[in-house]
Amino acid sequence: MLRLFRRSDGDAVAKPVPGSAPVPAAVGVGDAVAVVRAMSAQASNVGRDAAEVRGAMEDTQKIVHAQGQAMQQLAAQLVEVQTAQGSIADATLETLQAVARAREALQSVSREVQGIVETLHQVADAAGEITQIALQTRLVAFNASVEAKRAGEAGRGFGVVADAVKDLAGKVETTSKAIMTTVTQLDDRIDNFSRDLRFDDKAGTRSRSAVHVAFASVEQDVERISLAAEQSRRTCSQLNDYTQELESEVQQAKARLTTALACSDRFLKVSEAMIEQVAGFGVETADTPFIQAAQQAAQEIADLLEQAVRSGNLQLQDLFDENYRSIPNTNPPQYLARFVEVADRLFPQVQERVLGLTPRVSYCIAVDRNGYCPTHNKKYSQPQRGDLAWDTANSRYRRIFNDRTGLASARNKRPFLLQTYRRDMGGGQFVILKEASAPIVVSGRHWGGLRVGFNF
């Protein structure tokens, strides 16, 4: 096994690692370099695949998380439905009880009406007796009038009284007959009303009154509502049980995805570490120009900020401002910091030059230690339009990129950091990129990092 070492003249030499198997004499430095470069290319491909897998698992994790939340909401809604159905059951029971009370009240009224009918019968009987008495009184008065006429002058006064009694008896007879007629009519109407109020369990539906048919219809409808509510309650209870099981399975899936994501993260870090170690040997690889560009650009940004601080154009406390102020009506959210104006003036001259080094470079940005990007490349610094997908891809300035890759680059203090990640371009579009970053140090303090993203 060989390990590369750097000689004092700068050339790389390969020496066997102590304890390793002997290396054939045919293997030279050039062969070792070729092997290292091949390892770098393979590690790069592995990193790309790992980033793809990690991104897919992140997407799946988001979907599973959303499904878990939906399950929780569904469970809560099912509980609300069950509660509402319980209220419906209570209300239907109260309605049935109210109908029964109303029916009892009608029965009571029916009994009272029946008493009125009986009283009216008594009135009719009394009126009939009065009619008979009046008729007999008229006959007596008529006979008395005849006898008074026979008596002549002696019976004249008695005849006047007899005629008056006869007329009065006629009026009484007429009145009593009218009372009887009225009572008979009232008796018929009240008797009909009483029959409408009376309820007979043995009577068929057709022979029941309209009132009790209506009551029966209400009871049937309420019972159907109660039955449907009970069936729905049982169904919701079963659905709630199923939802709880699904939610438990979703939580298990989330846990497994978290474990898998951690594994893929470690796998990705291993591939990145391999690439970094290869680059650290000093062997020229496909990533070397981008690492050097990131380091040089980081130093240039640091020098520009140092000069701005020394000249008084920028206060050091303003440069390290972390009080990010949200810009209203922005989505994705954008922020302002006290060093934005200086960044807009100084950063483009370095960032745009690095962006133009090769078409493989996708972006070059300087971010503070929290991943805040005050000034992006010009092509990604378009004003937002209100279209989330477009704004995510084209309005990337004034944003905080605090994802795994963003924070790692922003807080890295080693000479360089090489990562592989999936860049979100909005609208479900992602691009697999490599990123070389180097720390930016101002006045002895770590300010952030210079990030150069490039295609495979």
The separation between CA 171 and the C-alpha centre of its own chain, rounded to angstroms, equals 87
Choosing from 250, 273, 296, the residue where a domain stops is 273
**pLDDT confidence bin for 20, thresholds 50/70/90:** very low
CATH number for the domain harbouring residue 246: 1.10.287.950
Answer whether residue 241 shows pLDDT above 70.
yes
Q: What angle do CA 386, 391, 392 make, to 5 degrees?
A: 135
Residues 222 and 156 in one domain: yes
SS3 365: strand
Choosing from 273, 297, 317, the residue where a domain stops is 273
The count of C-alpha atoms lying within 13 angstroms of the C-alpha of 83, restricted to the half-sphere facing its C-beta, is 6
The whole-number pLDDT of residue 6 equals 45
Phi, psi of 28, deg, nearest 5:
-110, -175
Average pLDDT (78-101) is: 74
Q: Is residue 201 part of a domain?
A: yes
SS3 437: strand
Choosing from 215, 246, 273, the residue where a domain stops is 273
The whole-number pLDDT of residue 45 equals 60
Residues 256 and 303 in one domain: no
| Residue 368 burial (10 A CB sphere; 0-12, 13-18, 19+) | buried
CB atoms within 10 A of CB 206: 6
The whole-number pLDDT of residue 244 equals 76
How many residues are there in the chain? 456
Q: Is residue 26 part of a domain?
A: no
Average pLDDT (324-339) is: 97
> From residue 164, how far is each of 135, 151, 156, 158, 161 by CA, in Å?
14, 18, 13, 10, 5
Residues 74 and 183 in one domain: yes
Residues 188 and 326 in one domain: no
The separation between CA 287 and the C-alpha centre of its own chain, rounded to angstroms, equals 46
For residues 235-255, b (16+ Cβ closer than 10 Å) or e, as one string?
Answer: ebeeebeebeebbeebeebbe
Q: 361 with 290: CB under 8 angstroms?
A: yes
Q: Distance between CA atoms of 23 and 422, rounded to whole angstroms?
A: 40
**Where in the sequence is the domain holding 382, given as residue range(s)?**
287-456
- Beta-bridge mates of residue 336: 325
Tally of helices (H runs) and strands (E runs) in the chain? 8, 10
Q: 118 with 186: CB under 8 angstroms?
A: no
SS3 205: coil
Q: Distance between CA atoms of 298 and 306, rounded to whole angstroms?
A: 12
**pLDDT confidence bin for 12, thresholds 50/70/90:** very low
Answer whether residue 271 shows pLDDT above 90.
no
Residues 245 and 323 in one domain: no
Residue with tokens 């068929």: 204
Q: Is residue 281 part of a domain?
A: no
Phi, psi of 371, deg, nearest 5:
85, 10
Q: Is residue 401 part of a domain?
A: yes
Q: Is residue 340 part of a domain?
A: yes
The whole-number pLDDT of residue 5 equals 43
The whole-number pLDDT of residue 207 equals 53
Please tell me the least confidently modeled range out of 74-83, 302-311, 333-342, 411-420.
74-83
Residues 176 and 99 in one domain: yes
The whole-number pLDDT of residue 278 equals 63
Residues 267 and 294 in one domain: no
Contacts of 265 (CB under 8 A, 6+ apart): 54, 404
Q: Distance between CA atoms of 84 and 77, rounded to whole angstroms?
A: 10
Residues 267 and 393 in one domain: no
Q: Is residue 29 part of a domain?
A: no
Q: Is residue 32 part of a domain?
A: no
Residues 369 and 337 in one domain: yes
Average pLDDT (241-252) is: 74
**pLDDT confidence bin for 397, thresholds 50/70/90:** very high
Q: 350 with 302: CB under 8 angstroms?
A: no
Residues 266 and 299 in one domain: no
Residues 436 and 351 in one domain: yes
Residues 327 and 184 in one domain: no
Q: Is residue 244 part of a domain?
A: yes
Answer whether residue 18 shows pLDDT above 60.
no
The whole-number pLDDT of residue 73 equals 75
Contacts of 446 (CB under 8 A, 6+ apart): 369, 411, 413, 439, 440
Task: Tell me the per-residue pLDDT of 292-312, one tens digit each, with 9 for 90 and over.
Answer: 999 999 999 999 999 999 999
Contacts of 246 (CB under 8 A, 6+ apart): 71
- How many domains in the chain? 2
Q: Distance between CA atoms of 164 and 183, rounded to whole angstroms?
A: 28
CATH number for the domain harbouring residue 361: 3.30.450.20
The whole-number pLDDT of residue 52 equals 60
